[in-house]
Structure 1
Amino acid sequence: MPTLICDCNKTMPLKAASLGTALGETLTQHSVLCRREAGAFQQAVKGNEPVVVACTQEKRLFAEVAENTEGAVAPVRFVNIRETGGWSRDAAKAMPKMAALLAAAKLPDPEPVPTVTYRSGGRVLVVGPLDAAERAGAMLQDTLDVTLFAQGGTGAQERRFPVLAGRIDSLTGWLGAFQLAWSATNPIDLDLCTRCNACVAACPEQAIGLDYQVDLSRCKDHRACVKACEVAGAIDFTRSPVAETETFDLVLDLRAEPAFVQHAKPQGYFHVPAFEGAAALDVVLRLRDLVGEFDKPKFFTYKQKLCAHSRNEQVGCNACIEICSAQAIRSDKDRQQVVVNPNLCVGCGACTTVCPTGAIAYAYPSAKEQGTKLRTLLAAYTQAGGRDATLLLHSQERGTALVESLGRDARLGRAHGVPANVIPVALWHTASTGLDLWLSAIAFGARQVAVLVTDEEAPQYLAGLKAQMAQAQAVVRGLGYTGTHFELLQAGTATALDAGLRSLGTTRQEGPEQPARFAVAVEKRATLDLALDHLVAFAPLKPEVIDLPPAGAPFGTIGVNKDRCTLCMSCVGACPSSALQDNPNAPQLRFIEKNCVQCGLCATTCPEDAITLQPRLLLTPERAQPRVLNETQPFACVRCGKPFGTLKAIEAMLGRLGAHPMFQGAAAERLKMCGDCRVIDLYSSKDEMRIQDV
C-alpha cells in the first residue's frame, strides 16, 4: 500500500528514510503535495491499491483531484501526523510515533455490521412560548412541516401554523418516531378561535393571553369571555379534557426545561431554551437536513446467555442500565434480561466497558479490531525505535479537535504540543474501551494508557472510567509494575490538554520486558485471561492474590457462612457463569473462581443471606479448579433410606414448619421422606381410611 508523506512546506522535520524503513517501503518526501506536487498524488492513486496520504487538512482537495484523474482511482486513506507529532517541540523525536500512525492507517476497515434506519418525513413539533415557536417555525417552514405546541408567550395575529395547546402528558421516541401525548385542557378551541382578541379584552382578570389559552388559576368564573365569543363559539368551560396523541419526526423544544432529561438526547430532538443567535441558526440548519432516510451502525451485540443481570426473578448486575446516558437499556423482567433500544443507543460503548461478562460487546469497531490496531501501533512504534509509549485515547470529534488545536498552538510557539511518546488514538467515544483493551495495551508494550475526556462525557461515564482504571491499576501494581499506568485526562481547552500531557511524563512506568503478540479475542473474559497471563509471566512480583477495589470488580471469590447455608443450591441455579456448581454425587457447594464475575446474583438469591462477595484476583492454579465451599451430611429418607437432601436443609424445614397445623403427625413424618415415598405414603394412608370407612 503506497504511502505519501509531506512536511507541509518544511514545517515538520520528517525523516523519509527512517519512516520508510519502519514501514518496509521506500518513501519520497514532499513539501507541497497539495499544491504543485499534486501530480505525485495523481500518479499514486492510479490503480486499485489503496493509498495512504499523511495529511487530513486537504482531504477535500485531494478528493477533487482524484475525481479529475483519468482511469481507475484507488481508495485513499488519510492520517494526521502533523498536529499529532510534526508540530510539537518534540517533533525531531516523533518519527517512531509517525511510523506507528502510518502503519495503523494501512489496516483494513472494520467489518460491516447491521445498521439502524431512521425515516423522517420532516414533520417537526416546536414546543415553547408561542412567539418564539412562531419565529422558529418561520425559519423552518420552507423545508419542514411545522406544528406548534404553545406554552405561553404572545402569538402573531396571522395564523401560519397549526397550533396545539393544553397539558403535555408525555413526549417519547426518536428521529422519525416521536410520540406526543397531551390533554386538551384549554377551554378555548384553537381550531375555532378567530384571534379576534374579544376574549382577551373582555376578561377582567387578564387570565387570557395572546397565546389564546386560559390561565385557570387566575380565572374567577365571570365568563365574560364566553359571552364575547358567542358568534365563534370557541370557548367552552364545560368541555372535559380530551386525551390526544400525535406522531412527529423531529422536535424543537424551546422551553427552559427539556422533555428528555438524560445526558444523551434522542436523535432528532433539539433543546434550545434561548432561540437566538448562532445557536438558533445552527439548530435550524441541522433540522432542515434531517429529512429522508438515515442509517447508523448497530454499535452493540448482546448475548443473553452471558448476561449476569437477572436469574429466577432476582436482579444481580445492573451496570449497563445504570451507566447508559441515553436511557437506551432497560430490564425486561419477563425475559430475565436487559433490552437495548438500538434507536436510542448513541454508540458510546459505556455499557460494554462496565459489563463484567462481555454479554454486551462493542461491535463497530469490534474489540478484536481495536486490539489489532493497538497492537499494530505499538509494534510499529517499538520497531522504529520508540520507547515508553503512552496511548492517548480520545473521541473522534471533540477530542480530535483538541489535539489538532494543540498542534497548531505548538506550531505558533504557544504550547509544547503532543509529546513524542504519546500516540493519539481516535475512538467513536472515549467510554467504548475498558479493562480488557487497556490491560492488553500494557501487554502489547504501552507503558501508559491515558483517556482524554472533555465536556461531552456524561458524569456516569467519568465514574465508570475511573472505576475501571482503579481495577486495572490495582492489577498492574499488584504484579509489581511501578508507576501510574492509567490516567484520566480532563481538558476542555488546548492549554489544559498541553498541561495534562506534560504531567504524564513526570513518573516512569514499568511494563513487561517483552511485548505480547496475542490477538484480542471476541469474548471479553478470554481477552482478560490472555492479557493477565502475559503480565503475570513477566511480573516483578508473583503474588498469590491481588485485592481489588469493590466498585466494578470483574474478578473475585465469595464467602459462605456455613452456619447459615443449608445447601439448598439456589445460588447454583442463579449463577450465570457456572462459577457455583453442585456435586451430583454428594451434598457439596463447589466454586470455580476463574468463572466468577462478582455480579451478586448468588447473594441476592440466597434465602439464608449466607453469601458475601470478595473482590480479588487469585493468581494460583487453584483459580481454575473447583473447590468446596460447603458440604454436609446427606439426609436419608426415613422410609426407603435413599438420600434426597441435606441434613441441615431438612432440619431447617422441620424447624420452620413444626408449629404449622398442616404439618403435624403423619404429615410431619412425610417431610422426612423422598418424593417417591411421600406419594406412596400419602396414597397408602388414603386407602387405609377408605377401608376403615367401609
Structure 2
Amino acid sequence: MFEFIYMKNSTYPDVVLHDHIKVLEHDQDIECVVCNVALQGTKRVAKEVNFFIENSAQTPLELAQSLSLLYEAHGLQFDFDHTKYTPTQEGSLIEFFNYNKEICQYHQRRVECCGKCSEVCPTQAISKLDPQIAREKDLECEDNRHLVIDHQSCIDCGKCIAVCPSGSLSYSSFNLECMQEVAKLYRGYIPLLIDCKAELPNTPLKKEVLPLCLNVNILEQVALLTWVQESGSQIVIYATQELGIGTLESIALLNEIYTHLCHQEAILVARTTEELQACLQDAQSLSSPYTPPTIPTRTKRDLFAQRLGFLIEQGDYGQVGCGEFIRYGHIEIKDNCTLCLSCVGACNTGALSVDGNAYTLLFNPSLCTTCGYCEATCPEKNCLHLERDGIALNPAYFVPKIMAKDSLFTCKMCGKPIGTTKSVHKIAQIMTPKFQGDARKIATLYACPDCKVKIMLEDMLDINSILK
C-alpha cells in the first residue's frame, strides 16, 4: 500500500510535488492512504487538493510545501480514525461517533440535567430513556435514565458532537486530539475549513490560505479555539447549508471573547462564494501560535480552560455571555453548607472538589458545564445556587475558589475525628428534639461509634460533661 498518491490533473500537468507523494498518470486500482481522487482502494480522498492547485496564488515551490501538508493532514486523520464498522446483512454499520457514559451529563442521574444531543439529532439516532418515557412507550428502564443510541439511524450530521458539554460524545474519525495535531500543520497559514458536504467553490486563494474539507458541524468551542491558536490566525468557515446550533453558538462565544481581547473576531463564516471571497480577503494573523502543555484531561472543558486561560493570562477583560446549548456560569454557596460533599459526588467534570487537609469545598467555574446536578443534589435548603451567566475573562475564573470551609469535629470522649463541625451540629439539631430530653441519647450525637456504645451502656459516665 502506498501512503500518498496524486492523480495527475490534465489541466495542471506540471505541478511540483515532494518525493513522498507518488504521481499516477492514469486512473488505476491501487491501495493507498490518501489520494486526491476516489480511486478503488483509497482510504481517504483529499478532494481539496485539486481545488487548491486550481485556485491558489502560491509559487510552485510554495504549492509543493502546502500540498505536502494537505496530504499529511489527511494522513493524520487516517492514523487517529476510531470509526467502528460492523458487518450486517445490508452491508456495514458505521459508528460515526463514540460515547463515554462516565462523563455524560444525562446518564443515570436522578434528575434530567442534559440530553442536548437528543434535542439536535434529526433522526433519533440518540434518544433519551427514563422511567416516565419507558412507561409512556411501554419499554423497560432499569436505571434512572440513559441514552439510547441507534447508529443505524445516524446520518453523520455531527450536530450532537458540538452540543455535548463534556466531550462524552466524540467524532470517531476526527477527535480533538487529532484536531490539534492537524491544526499544528497550519501554522503560518489562514485555515479555510470547507464543509465536506458543500460543492467546492471557484474562488481565488491568496498565498496565506490553506484549505481543509471536514464536517464543520463537529466544530465547537474547543476545536475552534484549537484552530485559531495553533494557526495563529483567523479562520474562515465555508458552509452552504446552515450550521448546527452547537457550532453557531461556539462561533458566537469565541468571536465575543476575541472581540473583548483583540478587538476583532476570530472566526469568519461564509455561505456564498461572494461572502467567501470577502472573508478570505479580510482574514489575517491574530497572534503567535500556541500549543498547551500535555496535561491529562477528563473533559473537553479542561482543554478549553487551558487554552482560554493562556489567552487571558493576567488580564481582566470583563464578562461574555453564553447560549442555550453552549453554557457557562458559576455557583454560589451560602453559609448553611455543612460540607456533606454531596455536590462533589454529583459533579463528574471535576468542577467541584474538596481539600481534605483544609476542610474546604472548592469550585473551578471553567470546568463547570452548568448541568445543575449539584444544585439538585444539595440536601440543604437554599444553599447552592447555579447561575448561567457566561465566562468571566480573568485569571480567577480558571482556578479553584474556596466556596465553604469548616473545622474538624472530634469525639467528646476520645478525641477521634468524626466529621465536620457543621455536619455534626446539623445532625444534632435534627435529632435532639426526637430524643425528647434523653441526655444519654443526645450525648451519642457528639461521639464516635465506639464511644456511642460506652455512653449507652456505662452508668458511671458524666453525661453533662459530654454535652457541654
Matches within 5 A, 1:38-77: 41-42=25-26, 52-53=35-36, 56=37
Find 1:630's aligned residue among 396, 404, 412: 404
Match of residue 464 from structure 1 = 246
Match of residue 171 from structure 2 = 362
Which digits, 9 at most, give the CA deviation of each residue in 1:18-67, with x for residues without a partner?
x54xx467999xxxxxxxxxxx614x9799777845xx5xx5xx76xxxx
Corresponding position: 1:524 with 2:300:
yes
Which digits, 9 at most, give the CA deviation of each residue in 1:584-616, with x for residues without a partner?
345422334564443332222223332334643
Q: Which amino acid aligns with 1:367?
A: L
Match of residue 484 from structure 1 = 265
How far apart are residue 519 of structure 1 and its match?
Answer: 9.0
- Once residues 364 and 45 of structure 1 are traced to their aligned partners in structure 2, the CA distance between those partners, rounded to angstroms, is 26
Matches within 5 A, 1:598-637: 598-608=370-380, 609-611=382-384, 612-613=386-387, 615-616=390-391, 620=395, 623-624=398-399, 626-637=400-411
Identify if the C-alpha distance between structure 1 residues 434 and 24 changes in structure 2 by more than 3 Å, giving closer, same or farther: farther
Identify if the C-alpha distance between structure 1 residues 634 and 79 changes in structure 2 by more than 3 Å, giving closer, same or farther: closer
Contact kept in structure 2, 1:45 and 1:75, CA below 8 Å: no
Match of residue 561 from structure 1 = 334
- SS of 2:273's equivalent? helix
Find 1:449's aligned residue among 221, 235, 249: 235
- Once residues 487 and 348 of structure 1 are traced to their aligned partners in structure 2, the CA distance between those partners, rounded to angstroms, is 21
Identity %: 20
How far apart are residue 621 of structure 1 and its match?
Answer: 8.4
Identify if the C-alpha distance between structure 1 residues 548 and 600 changes in structure 2 by more than 3 Å, giving closer, same or farther: farther
Corresponding position: 1:393 with 2:190:
no
Find 1:6's aligned residue among 6, 9, 19: 9
Corresponding position: 1:113 with 2:79:
no
- Once residues 673 and 570 of structure 1 are traced to their aligned partners in structure 2, the CA distance between those partners, rounded to angstroms, is 23
Find 1:435's aligned residue among 221, 233, 256: 221
How far apart are residue 571 of structure 1 and its match?
Answer: 0.8
Which digits, 9 at most, give the CA deviation of each residue in 1:560-595, with x for residues without a partner?
222x32322211111113332234345422334564
Find 1:324's aligned residue among 121, 127, 130: 121
Q: Which amino acid aligns with 1:41?
A: E
Which digits, 9 at most, give the CA deviation of each residue in 1:89-148, with x for residues without a partner?
xx54597678635632354335353224543xxxxxxxxxxxxxxxxxxxxxxxxxxxxx
Which digits, 9 at most, give the CA deviation of each residue in 1:317-352, with x for residues without a partner?
433333333331325671665443333333333332
Matches within 5 A, 1:231-630: 293-309=90-106, 313-327=110-124, 328-331=126-129, 334=143, 337-376=146-185, 378-379=186-187, 382=188, 389-394=190-195, 396-397=196-197, 399=198, 401=199, 403=200, 406-407=201-202, 417=203, 419-420=205-206, 423-427=210-214, 429-445=215-231, 447-455=233-241, 462-478=244-260, 480-489=261-270, 491=271, 497-505=272-280, 507=282, 509-514=284-289, 516=291, 524-525=300-301, 527-528=303-304, 531-532=307-308, 536=311, 542-544=314-316, 547-551=319-323, 552=325, 557-562=330-335, 564-585=336-357, 587-592=359-364, 595-608=367-380, 609-611=382-384, 612-613=386-387, 615-616=390-391, 620=395, 623-624=398-399, 626-630=400-404
- Once residues 391 and 472 of structure 1 are traced to their aligned partners in structure 2, the CA distance between those partners, rounded to angstroms, is 17
Q: Which amino acid aligns with 2:177?
A: K
- Once residues 579 and 639 of structure 1 are traced to their aligned partners in structure 2, the CA distance between those partners, rounded to angstroms, is 37
Identify if the C-alpha distance between structure 1 residues 631 and 46 changes in structure 2 by more than 3 Å, giving closer, same or farther: closer
- Once residues 449 and 6 of structure 1 are traced to their aligned partners in structure 2, the CA distance between those partners, rounded to angstroms, is 28
How far apart are residue 623 of structure 1 and its match?
Answer: 3.7
Which digits, 9 at most, give the CA deviation of each residue in 1:631-675, with x for residues without a partner?
13444545555443444444444555666xx44222555444444
- Once residues 431 and 304 of structure 1 are traced to their aligned partners in structure 2, the CA distance between those partners, rounded to angstroms, is 22
- Once residues 355 and 163 of structure 2 are traced to their aligned partners in structure 1, the CA distance between those partners, rounded to angstroms, is 32
Contact kept in structure 2, 1:368 and 1:520, CA below 8 Å: no
Paired positions, count: 431
- Once residues 445 and 476 of structure 1 are traced to their aligned partners in structure 2, the CA distance between those partners, rounded to angstroms, is 15
- SS of 1:343's equivalent? helix
- Once residues 580 and 448 of structure 1 are traced to their aligned partners in structure 2, the CA distance between those partners, rounded to angstroms, is 34
Larger radius of gyration: 1
How far apart are residue 488 of structure 1 and its match?
Answer: 4.3
- Once residues 82 and 358 of structure 2 are traced to their aligned partners in structure 1, the CA distance between those partners, rounded to angstroms, is 50
- SS of 1:6's equivalent? coil
Match of residue 463 from structure 2 = none
- Once residues 178 and 29 of structure 2 are traced to their aligned partners in structure 1, the CA distance between those partners, rounded to angstroms, is 29
Contact kept in structure 1, 2:192 and 2:238, CA below 8 Å: no
Identify if the C-alpha distance between structure 1 residues 637 and 586 changes in structure 2 by more than 3 Å, giving closer, same or farther: farther
Matches within 5 A, 1:110-259: 110=79, 111=81, 113-119=83-89
How far apart are residue 15 of structure 1 and its match?
Answer: 7.4
Contact kept in structure 2, 1:548 and 1:615, CA below 8 Å: yes
- Once residues 98 and 488 of structure 1 are traced to their aligned partners in structure 2, the CA distance between those partners, rounded to angstroms, is 28
Which digits, 9 at most, give the CA deviation of each residue in 1:532-553, with x for residues without a partner?
47x63xx7x7415763423355
Identify if the C-alpha distance between structure 1 residues 439 and 426 changes in structure 2 by more than 3 Å, giving closer, same or farther: same
- Once residues 572 and 498 of structure 1 are traced to their aligned partners in structure 2, the CA distance between those partners, rounded to angstroms, is 50
- Once residues 47 and 295 of structure 2 are traced to their aligned partners in structure 1, the CA distance between those partners, rounded to angstroms, is 24
Which digits, 9 at most, give the CA deviation of each residue in 1:191-213, with x for residues without a partner?
xxxxxxxxxxxxxxxxxxxxxxx
- SS of 1:566's equivalent? coil
Corresponding position: 1:103 with 2:72:
no
Find 1:79's aligned residue among 35, 40, 47: 47
Q: Which moved more, 1:108-117 or 1:293-302?
A: 108-117
Match of residue 205 from structure 1 = none
Contact kept in structure 1, 2:258 and 2:264, CA below 8 Å: no
Identify if the C-alpha distance between structure 1 residues 520 and 367 changes in structure 2 by more than 3 Å, giving closer, same or farther: farther
Identify if the C-alpha distance between structure 1 residues 443 and 48 changes in structure 2 by more than 3 Å, giving closer, same or farther: same
For normalisation by structure 2, the TM-score amounts to 0.73
Q: Which ranges of structure 2 fall in alignment gaps of 5 or more residues?
A: 131-141, 460-468
RMSD of Structure 2 on Structure 1 (CA): 4.3
How far apart are residue 436 of structure 1 and its match?
Answer: 1.9
Q: Which amino acid aligns with 2:403?
A: L
- SS of 2:262's equivalent? coil
Match of residue 191 from structure 1 = none
Contact kept in structure 2, 1:391 and 1:422, CA below 8 Å: yes
- Once residues 169 and 416 of structure 2 are traced to their aligned partners in structure 1, the CA distance between those partners, rounded to angstroms, is 45
- Once residues 629 and 616 of structure 1 are traced to their aligned partners in structure 2, the CA distance between those partners, rounded to angstroms, is 18
Contact kept in structure 2, 1:586 and 1:634, CA below 8 Å: no
Contact kept in structure 2, 1:589 and 1:630, CA below 8 Å: yes
Contact kept in structure 1, 2:192 and 2:210, CA below 8 Å: yes
- Once residues 105 and 453 of structure 1 are traced to their aligned partners in structure 2, the CA distance between those partners, rounded to angstroms, is 22
